[in-house]
Structure 1
Amino acid sequence: MSKDDVVEESRETVYQGFFRMNKVTLRHRRFNGEWIGPFHRELFERGEAVCVLLVDPVREAIVLTEQFRIGALEDERSPWLLELVAGMVEPGETYEEVAVRECQEEAGCTPAALRHITTYWVSPGGTNERVAIYCASVDSADMGGIHGLEEEHEDIRVITLPFSEALKALESGVINNAATIIALQWLTIHQKEVFQR
Protein backbone atom coordinates (compact mmCIF):
# COMPACT_ATOMS: atom_id res chain seq x y z
CA MET A 1 0.00 0.00 0.00
CA SER A 2 1.22 3.52 -0.81
CA LYS A 3 0.01 7.10 -1.21
CA ASP A 4 -1.33 6.01 -4.61
CA ASP A 5 -3.95 3.95 -2.76
CA VAL A 6 -5.49 7.07 -1.17
CA VAL A 7 -7.78 9.62 -2.86
CA GLU A 8 -8.28 12.91 -1.04
CA GLU A 9 -11.58 14.35 -2.21
CA SER A 10 -11.56 17.58 -0.21
CA ARG A 11 -9.78 19.43 2.58
CA GLU A 12 -11.47 22.21 4.57
CA THR A 13 -9.92 24.32 7.34
CA VAL A 14 -12.34 24.22 10.26
CA TYR A 15 -10.13 26.06 12.75
CA GLN A 16 -7.12 28.35 12.36
CA GLY A 17 -5.37 29.74 15.43
CA PHE A 18 -1.96 28.91 16.89
CA PHE A 19 -2.63 25.55 15.21
CA ARG A 20 -4.86 24.51 12.31
CA MET A 21 -7.52 21.82 12.15
CA ASN A 22 -8.60 20.48 8.77
CA LYS A 23 -11.57 18.29 7.85
CA VAL A 24 -10.40 15.85 5.17
CA THR A 25 -12.75 13.77 3.02
CA LEU A 26 -11.00 10.75 1.55
CA ARG A 27 -11.21 7.16 0.46
CA HIS A 28 -8.56 4.49 0.36
CA ARG A 29 -8.00 0.99 -0.91
CA ARG A 30 -8.64 -1.93 1.43
CA PHE A 31 -6.16 -4.77 1.86
CA ASN A 32 -8.49 -6.95 -0.26
CA GLY A 33 -8.22 -4.47 -3.16
CA GLU A 34 -11.67 -2.89 -2.76
CA TRP A 35 -12.23 0.74 -1.73
CA ILE A 36 -13.51 2.15 1.56
CA GLY A 37 -15.16 5.56 1.79
CA PRO A 38 -15.56 8.34 1.24
CA PHE A 39 -15.32 9.23 4.92
CA HIS A 40 -14.19 12.22 7.01
CA ARG A 41 -11.22 12.63 9.33
CA GLU A 42 -10.14 15.67 11.32
CA LEU A 43 -6.43 16.36 10.87
CA PHE A 44 -4.54 18.44 13.41
CA GLU A 45 -1.93 20.27 11.31
CA ARG A 46 1.12 20.42 13.58
CA GLY A 47 4.01 20.09 11.14
CA GLU A 48 7.55 18.94 11.86
CA ALA A 49 9.66 19.40 14.98
CA VAL A 50 13.26 18.75 15.93
CA CYS A 51 14.44 17.64 19.38
CA VAL A 52 18.03 17.50 20.62
CA LEU A 53 19.41 15.34 23.41
CA LEU A 54 22.37 17.30 24.77
CA VAL A 55 25.03 14.99 26.17
CA ASP A 56 28.21 15.85 28.04
CA PRO A 57 30.40 12.83 27.20
CA VAL A 58 33.12 13.78 29.69
CA ARG A 59 30.85 14.19 32.73
CA GLU A 60 28.41 11.45 31.60
CA ALA A 61 25.59 13.94 32.00
CA ILE A 62 22.65 15.15 29.97
CA VAL A 63 21.12 18.60 29.66
CA LEU A 64 17.34 18.93 29.67
CA THR A 65 14.89 21.80 29.63
CA GLU A 66 11.95 22.35 31.97
CA GLN A 67 8.96 24.40 30.90
CA PHE A 68 5.18 24.67 31.18
CA ARG A 69 3.15 22.62 28.67
CA ILE A 70 -0.58 23.23 28.15
CA GLY A 71 -1.10 19.65 27.00
CA ALA A 72 0.12 18.40 30.38
CA LEU A 73 -2.19 20.67 32.38
CA GLU A 74 -3.88 17.62 33.93
CA ASP A 75 -0.59 15.82 34.70
CA GLU A 76 -0.69 14.32 38.21
CA ARG A 77 2.82 15.53 38.99
CA SER A 78 3.15 18.87 37.21
CA PRO A 79 2.49 20.61 33.87
CA TRP A 80 6.17 21.65 33.90
CA LEU A 81 7.92 18.87 31.99
CA LEU A 82 11.54 17.78 31.67
CA GLU A 83 12.23 17.64 27.96
CA LEU A 84 14.79 17.77 25.21
CA VAL A 85 15.59 21.06 23.52
CA ALA A 86 12.92 21.29 20.81
CA GLY A 87 11.41 23.53 18.16
CA MET A 88 9.26 23.59 15.07
CA VAL A 89 10.67 23.51 11.55
CA GLU A 90 10.04 26.76 9.71
CA PRO A 91 9.67 26.86 5.90
CA GLY A 92 13.04 26.46 4.19
CA GLU A 93 14.87 25.18 7.28
CA THR A 94 16.71 21.88 7.54
CA TYR A 95 16.43 19.73 10.65
CA GLU A 96 20.04 20.53 11.50
CA GLU A 97 19.44 24.29 11.25
CA VAL A 98 16.47 23.98 13.61
CA ALA A 99 18.57 21.92 16.03
CA VAL A 100 21.27 24.61 16.21
CA ARG A 101 18.75 27.49 16.47
CA GLU A 102 16.79 25.86 19.26
CA CYS A 103 19.89 24.88 21.25
CA GLN A 104 21.00 28.52 21.16
CA GLU A 105 17.53 29.87 22.08
CA GLU A 106 16.55 27.32 24.74
CA ALA A 107 19.85 26.23 26.29
CA GLY A 108 22.34 28.98 25.42
CA CYS A 109 24.70 26.61 23.62
CA THR A 110 25.83 25.62 20.16
CA PRO A 111 25.71 21.84 19.74
CA ALA A 112 28.64 19.88 18.35
CA ALA A 113 28.50 16.80 16.13
CA LEU A 114 24.76 16.41 15.60
CA ARG A 115 23.84 12.74 15.27
CA HIS A 116 20.41 11.67 14.00
CA ILE A 117 18.66 9.22 16.34
CA THR A 118 15.28 8.73 14.68
CA THR A 119 12.30 10.42 13.04
CA TYR A 120 8.80 9.33 14.05
CA TRP A 121 5.10 10.18 13.70
CA VAL A 122 3.76 11.48 17.03
CA SER A 123 0.12 10.39 16.80
CA PRO A 124 -0.72 9.60 13.15
CA GLY A 125 -4.36 8.76 13.90
CA GLY A 126 -5.11 12.48 14.10
CA THR A 127 -2.09 14.71 13.56
CA ASN A 128 0.59 15.10 10.89
CA GLU A 129 3.24 16.02 13.48
CA ARG A 130 6.57 14.33 12.83
CA VAL A 131 9.58 14.64 15.12
CA ALA A 132 13.27 14.24 14.30
CA ILE A 133 15.49 13.50 17.30
CA TYR A 134 19.21 14.26 17.39
CA CYS A 135 22.00 13.78 19.89
CA ALA A 136 24.73 16.40 20.29
CA SER A 137 27.78 16.80 22.49
CA VAL A 138 28.15 19.79 24.82
CA ASP A 139 30.30 20.91 27.70
CA SER A 140 27.74 21.21 30.50
CA ALA A 141 30.10 22.86 33.01
CA ASP A 142 28.62 26.34 32.69
CA MET A 143 25.16 25.45 31.40
CA GLY A 144 22.04 26.42 33.31
CA GLY A 145 19.81 29.40 33.90
CA ILE A 146 16.60 30.58 32.28
CA HIS A 147 16.29 30.82 28.50
CA GLY A 148 13.71 31.17 25.72
CA LEU A 149 12.20 33.91 23.61
CA GLU A 150 10.06 36.52 25.35
CA GLU A 151 7.94 37.06 22.21
CA GLU A 152 7.08 33.34 22.24
CA HIS A 153 6.19 33.49 25.97
CA GLU A 154 8.97 31.01 26.76
CA ASP A 155 10.32 30.56 30.28
CA ILE A 156 12.73 27.64 30.01
CA ARG A 157 14.97 26.38 32.78
CA VAL A 158 18.07 24.40 31.81
CA ILE A 159 18.90 21.43 34.02
CA THR A 160 21.99 19.19 33.93
CA LEU A 161 21.61 15.67 35.31
CA PRO A 162 24.02 12.78 35.62
CA PHE A 163 22.88 10.12 33.17
CA SER A 164 22.15 7.74 36.06
CA GLU A 165 19.77 10.29 37.63
CA ALA A 166 18.05 10.87 34.29
CA LEU A 167 17.40 7.13 34.04
CA LYS A 168 15.87 7.13 37.55
CA ALA A 169 13.64 10.05 36.51
CA LEU A 170 12.63 8.05 33.44
CA GLU A 171 11.86 4.91 35.46
CA SER A 172 9.85 6.82 38.08
CA GLY A 173 7.74 8.63 35.49
CA VAL A 174 9.12 12.11 36.18
CA ILE A 175 10.32 12.13 32.56
CA ASN A 176 7.06 11.33 30.76
CA ASN A 177 7.10 12.67 27.21
CA ALA A 178 7.77 10.55 24.15
CA ALA A 179 10.75 12.31 22.58
CA THR A 180 12.73 12.38 25.82
CA ILE A 181 11.88 8.76 26.61
CA ILE A 182 12.95 7.65 23.11
CA ALA A 183 16.20 9.63 23.31
CA LEU A 184 17.12 8.28 26.74
CA GLN A 185 16.37 4.72 25.67
CA TRP A 186 18.60 5.27 22.64
CA LEU A 187 21.36 6.63 24.88
CA THR A 188 21.03 3.61 27.16
CA ILE A 189 21.77 1.37 24.17
CA HIS A 190 24.62 3.57 22.84
CA GLN A 191 26.11 4.88 26.09
CA LYS A 192 29.50 3.17 25.71
CA GLU A 193 30.24 4.88 22.40
CA VAL A 194 28.64 8.23 23.38
CA PHE A 195 30.38 8.49 26.74
CA GLN A 196 33.66 7.24 25.24
CA ARG A 197 34.25 4.68 27.97
Structure 2
Amino acid sequence: MTAGIDTPDRRGRTGLDQHGRGLTGNPRVRIREVELLSCHWYVLRNTTFDYQHRDGHWSREQRETYDRGDGATVLLYCLETRTVLLTRQFRLPAYVNGHPDGMLLETAAGLLDDDDPEAAIRREAHEETGYRLGPIQRVFEAYMSPGSVTERLHFFAAPYDPARPATGGGIAEEGEDIDTVEIDFTRALQMIRTGAIADAKTIMLLQWAALDGPFRHAQDHRRGAD
Protein backbone atom coordinates (compact mmCIF):
# COMPACT_ATOMS: atom_id res chain seq x y z
CA MET A 1 0.00 0.00 0.00
CA THR A 2 1.43 3.35 -1.05
CA ALA A 3 0.32 6.77 0.20
CA GLY A 4 -1.08 8.87 -2.61
CA ILE A 5 -1.79 5.83 -4.77
CA ASP A 6 -4.02 3.34 -2.98
CA THR A 7 -4.10 4.94 0.48
CA PRO A 8 -4.66 8.65 1.23
CA ASP A 9 -1.61 10.87 1.56
CA ARG A 10 -1.40 13.67 4.15
CA ARG A 11 -3.83 15.74 2.06
CA GLY A 12 -6.27 12.86 1.56
CA ARG A 13 -5.38 12.18 -2.07
CA THR A 14 -5.26 8.82 -3.86
CA GLY A 15 -4.71 7.82 -7.50
CA LEU A 16 -1.89 10.30 -7.98
CA ASP A 17 -0.19 7.87 -10.35
CA GLN A 18 -3.07 8.15 -12.85
CA HIS A 19 -2.42 11.76 -13.86
CA GLY A 20 -2.09 12.08 -17.64
CA ARG A 21 -2.87 8.47 -18.48
CA GLY A 22 -6.14 9.25 -20.23
CA LEU A 23 -4.93 12.14 -22.40
CA THR A 24 -5.81 11.83 -26.11
CA GLY A 25 -5.40 15.39 -27.39
CA ASN A 26 -2.04 14.78 -29.07
CA PRO A 27 -1.85 11.61 -31.23
CA ARG A 28 1.96 11.90 -31.27
CA VAL A 29 2.12 11.27 -27.50
CA ARG A 30 1.33 7.93 -25.83
CA ILE A 31 1.59 7.82 -22.04
CA ARG A 32 3.09 4.49 -20.97
CA GLU A 33 3.77 4.76 -17.23
CA VAL A 34 3.35 7.29 -14.43
CA GLU A 35 5.54 6.80 -11.36
CA LEU A 36 4.76 8.73 -8.18
CA LEU A 37 8.05 9.95 -6.72
CA SER A 38 6.80 12.21 -3.91
CA CYS A 39 3.56 13.61 -2.51
CA HIS A 40 4.84 15.17 0.71
CA TRP A 41 2.77 18.27 -0.08
CA TYR A 42 2.91 18.87 -3.82
CA VAL A 43 3.30 16.02 -6.31
CA LEU A 44 6.43 14.90 -8.15
CA ARG A 45 5.96 12.33 -10.91
CA ASN A 46 8.15 10.57 -13.45
CA THR A 47 6.23 9.91 -16.67
CA THR A 48 7.34 7.55 -19.43
CA PHE A 49 5.82 8.21 -22.84
CA ASP A 50 6.31 7.46 -26.51
CA TYR A 51 6.76 10.49 -28.74
CA GLN A 52 6.48 10.64 -32.53
CA HIS A 53 8.98 13.05 -34.04
CA ARG A 54 8.39 15.22 -37.10
CA ASP A 55 10.15 12.73 -39.36
CA GLY A 56 7.75 10.00 -38.21
CA HIS A 57 9.97 7.90 -35.94
CA TRP A 58 8.99 7.13 -32.35
CA SER A 59 11.18 7.42 -29.26
CA ARG A 60 10.68 6.46 -25.63
CA GLU A 61 11.02 9.51 -23.34
CA GLN A 62 10.89 10.22 -19.60
CA ARG A 63 10.10 13.51 -17.90
CA GLU A 64 9.68 14.53 -14.29
CA THR A 65 6.80 16.89 -13.56
CA TYR A 66 6.19 18.91 -10.42
CA ASP A 67 2.50 19.51 -9.75
CA ARG A 68 1.69 22.22 -7.21
CA GLY A 69 -1.69 23.15 -8.67
CA ASP A 70 -2.56 26.28 -10.61
CA GLY A 71 -2.21 29.80 -9.24
CA ALA A 72 -3.19 33.43 -9.66
CA THR A 73 -1.45 36.78 -9.29
CA VAL A 74 -2.54 40.43 -9.37
CA LEU A 75 -0.84 43.75 -10.03
CA LEU A 76 -2.19 46.39 -7.64
CA TYR A 77 -1.80 49.87 -9.13
CA CYS A 78 -2.87 53.48 -8.55
CA LEU A 79 -3.05 55.80 -11.56
CA GLU A 80 -3.33 58.96 -9.46
CA THR A 81 -0.03 58.38 -7.64
CA ARG A 82 1.57 56.30 -10.45
CA THR A 83 2.48 53.60 -7.96
CA VAL A 84 2.21 49.84 -7.67
CA LEU A 85 1.90 47.82 -4.48
CA LEU A 86 4.18 44.78 -4.30
CA THR A 87 5.03 42.26 -1.62
CA ARG A 88 8.40 41.22 -0.28
CA GLN A 89 9.02 37.76 1.15
CA PHE A 90 11.75 35.16 1.53
CA ARG A 91 11.99 32.57 -1.26
CA LEU A 92 14.32 29.68 -0.44
CA PRO A 93 14.66 28.34 -4.03
CA ALA A 94 15.84 31.77 -5.22
CA TYR A 95 18.19 32.09 -2.24
CA VAL A 96 19.93 28.76 -2.88
CA ASN A 97 20.23 29.60 -6.59
CA GLY A 98 22.15 32.84 -6.41
CA HIS A 99 19.76 35.52 -5.16
CA PRO A 100 21.69 37.61 -2.60
CA ASP A 101 19.21 37.30 0.28
CA GLY A 102 16.18 35.47 -1.13
CA MET A 103 13.90 38.44 -0.41
CA LEU A 104 11.92 38.88 -3.63
CA LEU A 105 9.66 41.74 -4.63
CA GLU A 106 6.51 40.25 -6.14
CA THR A 107 2.94 40.86 -7.12
CA ALA A 108 0.48 39.30 -4.66
CA ALA A 109 -0.12 35.67 -5.62
CA GLY A 110 -1.17 32.25 -4.42
CA LEU A 111 -2.52 28.86 -5.39
CA LEU A 112 -6.12 28.43 -6.45
CA ASP A 113 -6.77 25.51 -4.10
CA ASP A 114 -10.48 24.82 -4.64
CA ASP A 115 -11.43 28.35 -5.76
CA ASP A 116 -11.85 29.80 -9.24
CA PRO A 117 -8.99 32.13 -10.28
CA GLU A 118 -10.73 35.41 -9.47
CA ALA A 119 -11.96 34.25 -6.07
CA ALA A 120 -8.49 32.89 -5.29
CA ILE A 121 -6.65 36.11 -6.10
CA ARG A 122 -9.13 38.18 -4.13
CA ARG A 123 -8.42 35.91 -1.16
CA GLU A 124 -4.66 36.04 -1.62
CA ALA A 125 -4.53 39.81 -2.13
CA HIS A 126 -6.43 40.32 1.10
CA GLU A 127 -4.21 37.91 3.03
CA GLU A 128 -0.97 39.41 1.72
CA THR A 129 -1.81 43.13 1.54
CA GLY A 130 -4.98 43.65 3.55
CA TYR A 131 -6.85 45.08 0.55
CA ARG A 132 -10.27 43.81 -0.50
CA LEU A 133 -10.29 44.25 -4.25
CA GLY A 134 -13.04 46.03 -6.13
CA PRO A 135 -13.14 45.87 -9.95
CA ILE A 136 -10.55 43.41 -11.26
CA GLN A 137 -9.25 42.84 -14.79
CA ARG A 138 -8.25 39.46 -16.16
CA VAL A 139 -5.05 39.95 -18.16
CA PHE A 140 -3.81 36.58 -19.48
CA GLU A 141 -2.74 33.07 -18.47
CA ALA A 142 0.70 31.51 -18.79
CA TYR A 143 2.63 28.32 -18.04
CA MET A 144 5.54 29.62 -16.01
CA SER A 145 8.04 26.76 -16.34
CA PRO A 146 6.52 24.27 -18.81
CA GLY A 147 9.62 22.10 -19.02
CA SER A 148 9.06 20.70 -15.54
CA VAL A 149 6.28 22.46 -13.60
CA THR A 150 2.61 21.91 -14.49
CA GLU A 151 1.37 25.19 -12.97
CA ARG A 152 -0.74 27.54 -15.09
CA LEU A 153 -0.83 31.05 -13.64
CA HIS A 154 -3.81 33.39 -14.04
CA PHE A 155 -2.81 37.07 -14.24
CA PHE A 156 -5.00 39.95 -13.04
CA ALA A 157 -4.74 43.68 -12.40
CA ALA A 158 -6.74 45.85 -10.04
CA PRO A 159 -6.60 49.39 -8.63
CA TYR A 160 -5.89 50.02 -4.97
CA ASP A 161 -6.35 53.06 -2.74
CA PRO A 162 -2.99 54.22 -1.31
CA ALA A 163 -4.85 56.29 1.30
CA ARG A 164 -5.79 53.02 3.01
CA PRO A 165 -2.82 51.41 4.79
CA ALA A 166 -1.78 47.91 3.78
CA THR A 167 -2.45 45.52 6.66
CA GLY A 168 -1.73 42.05 5.27
CA GLY A 169 1.30 40.00 6.12
CA GLY A 170 0.20 36.54 5.05
CA ILE A 171 -0.86 33.60 7.19
CA ALA A 172 1.50 33.12 10.12
CA GLU A 173 0.38 29.51 10.63
CA GLU A 174 1.72 28.73 7.16
CA GLY A 175 5.06 30.40 7.87
CA GLU A 176 4.31 33.49 5.82
CA ASP A 177 6.02 36.76 6.76
CA ILE A 178 5.12 39.25 4.02
CA ASP A 179 5.89 42.96 3.78
CA THR A 180 4.17 45.34 1.39
CA VAL A 181 6.19 47.83 -0.65
CA GLU A 182 4.74 50.76 -2.57
CA ILE A 183 6.90 51.72 -5.55
CA ASP A 184 6.72 54.41 -8.20
CA PHE A 185 5.82 52.71 -11.46
CA THR A 186 8.71 54.19 -13.47
CA ARG A 187 11.13 53.12 -10.74
CA ALA A 188 9.65 49.62 -10.78
CA LEU A 189 10.44 49.34 -14.49
CA GLN A 190 13.98 50.50 -13.80
CA MET A 191 14.29 47.86 -11.06
CA ILE A 192 13.61 45.17 -13.67
CA ARG A 193 16.64 46.39 -15.63
CA THR A 194 18.90 46.41 -12.57
CA GLY A 195 17.70 43.03 -11.30
CA ALA A 196 16.16 44.46 -8.13
CA ILE A 197 12.88 42.96 -9.35
CA ALA A 198 13.66 39.45 -10.54
CA ASP A 199 10.36 37.59 -10.18
CA ALA A 200 8.94 36.49 -13.54
CA LYS A 201 5.24 37.04 -12.89
CA THR A 202 5.94 40.51 -11.53
CA ILE A 203 8.07 41.45 -14.54
CA MET A 204 5.36 40.22 -16.89
CA LEU A 205 2.64 42.26 -15.21
CA LEU A 206 4.74 45.41 -14.96
CA GLN A 207 5.65 45.23 -18.64
CA TRP A 208 2.02 44.56 -19.56
CA ALA A 209 1.00 47.63 -17.52
CA ALA A 210 3.46 49.75 -19.49
CA LEU A 211 2.73 48.33 -22.93
CA ASP A 212 -0.96 47.51 -22.88
CA GLY A 213 -2.28 48.25 -19.40
CA PRO A 214 -3.15 51.15 -17.11
CA PHE A 215 0.12 53.05 -17.61
CA ARG A 216 0.24 52.66 -21.39
CA HIS A 217 -0.83 56.19 -22.27
CA ALA A 218 1.59 57.70 -19.77
CA GLN A 219 4.42 55.73 -21.37
CA ASP A 220 3.29 56.88 -24.85
CA HIS A 221 3.31 60.47 -23.64
CA ARG A 222 6.80 60.09 -22.23
CA ARG A 223 8.11 58.64 -25.49
CA GLY A 224 6.50 61.51 -27.45
CA ALA A 225 8.23 64.06 -25.24
CA ASP A 226 11.68 62.51 -25.77
Normalised to the residue count of structure 1, the TM-score between the two structures is: 0.90
SS at match of 2:27: helix
Query: What is the CA deviation profile of residues 23-75 of structure 1, one whole-angstrom value per residue up to 9, with x for unaligned ones?
Result: 111112212233222x2211111221101100112211100000011111133
Match of 2:185 in 1: 163
* Matched-pair contact (CA < 8 Å) for 2:78–2:161: yes
What residue ranges of structure 2 are gaps of 5+ in the alignment?
A: 1-24, 222-226
TM-score, length basis structure 2: 0.79
Which residue of the partner structure matches residue 224 of structure 2? Answer: none
Mapped contact 1:65–1:82 kept (Cα < 8 A) = yes
Give yes or no for the alignment of 1:175 onto 2:197.
Answer: yes
Q: Which residue of 2 aligns with 1:62?
A: 84
Deviation of 1:6 after TM superposition, in Å, equals 1.4
User: 1:84 — aligned with what?
Assistant: 107
Bigger mean CA deviation after superposition, 16-25 or 148-157: 16-25
What amino acid maps onto 1:169 in structure 2? Answer: M
- Taking the aligned partners of 1:3 and 1:151, their CA distance within structure 2 comes to 42
Query: SS of the residue aligned with 1:24?
Result: strand
Root mean square deviation of aligned Cα: 1.9
Unaligned runs of 5+ in 1: none
Match of 2:94 in 1: 72
Partner of 2:161: 139
Structure of higher CA gyration radius: 2
1:144 positional shift: 3.2
**Alpha carbons of structure 1 residues 176 and 97: separation in structure 2 relative to 1, 3 Å:** same
- How many percent of aligned residue pairs carry the same amino acid? 28
Change in 2 beyond 3 A, CA 1:155/1:194: farther
Give the number of aligned pairs: 193
Match of 1:31 in 2: 54
Q: Distance in 2 between matches of 1:40 and 1:94?
A: 32
Partner of 1:152: 174
- Bigger strand share: 1
Counterparts of 2:57 and 2:99, CA distance in 1: 46
Name the SS for the 2:136 alignment partner. Answer: strand
Q: Residues 64, 89 of structure 1: CA spacing in aligned structure 2 closer, same or farther, 3 A cutoff?
A: same
Partner of 1:12: 35
Contact 2:37 2:44 in 1 (8 A): yes
Corresponding residue to 1:21 among 20, 44, 52: 44
Cα separation, 2, equivalents of 1:28 and 1:78: 41
